Amino acid sequence: MGIKRRKGSPNFYYDFTVQGCRFRRSTETDNREVANAVEARRRYEAIIGGLEGKRPTMTIDLAFGRYWNDHGSRMPSAESIGVALTKLSAGLGKHTRLDALTNAAVSEYVSRRREGLSRCPR
């Protein structure tokens, strides 16, 4: 798709898809030539990574931030979503890569959270 400027931003952004994975991000420059070079490099890295079977990695912190910016902050329950994302990020480790997150790690986190909840008298 090439590079474009987003409304209100002086920088150029790239947006392209390789093997079903979408890549979009700021080139962090307002110079068209430099932006084209950045976009070409990112496309090359995405293609080579795809050929080698490597997928781009994303941390929990980055994923939650993206979700918050794209959806969560505009939801009627934004406050609750923010609290949940903060607790999840702290409990699972904000620097944990999504491809390294296992069912066992999530189960362990759930167990720790349950231990911290007070028991209601019956």
**Cβ(72)–Cβ(81) under 8 Å?**
yes
What predicted TM-score, i.e. pTM, was given to this entire model? 0.51
Q: Please state, rounded to an integer, the average pLDDT across all residues of the chain.
A: 85
> What local confidence, expressed as pLDDT, does residue 122 receive?
54
Strands (E), 6-115: 12-18, 21-26
Give pLDDT tens digits for 71-118: 888 899 999 999 999 999 999 988 888 888 889 988 998 888 888 776
d(CA 121, CA 119): 6
pLDDT band at 2 (very low <50, low <70, confident <90, very high): confident
Alpha-carbon distance of 27 to 30, in angstroms, equals 8
The two tokens of residue 63 are 């994923």
Phi and psi at 90, nearest 5°, equal: -70, -40
pLDDT in tens, 27-83: 999 999 999 999 999 998 888 876 555 666 788 988 898 888 888 888 999 999 999
What residue segments make up the domains of the chain, in order of their start? 3-51, 60-116
Q: Is 10 left (phi over 0), alpha (psi -120 to 50) or beta?
A: alpha
Q: State the greatest distance between any 2 C-alpha atoms of the chain, in Å, as a whole number.
A: 69
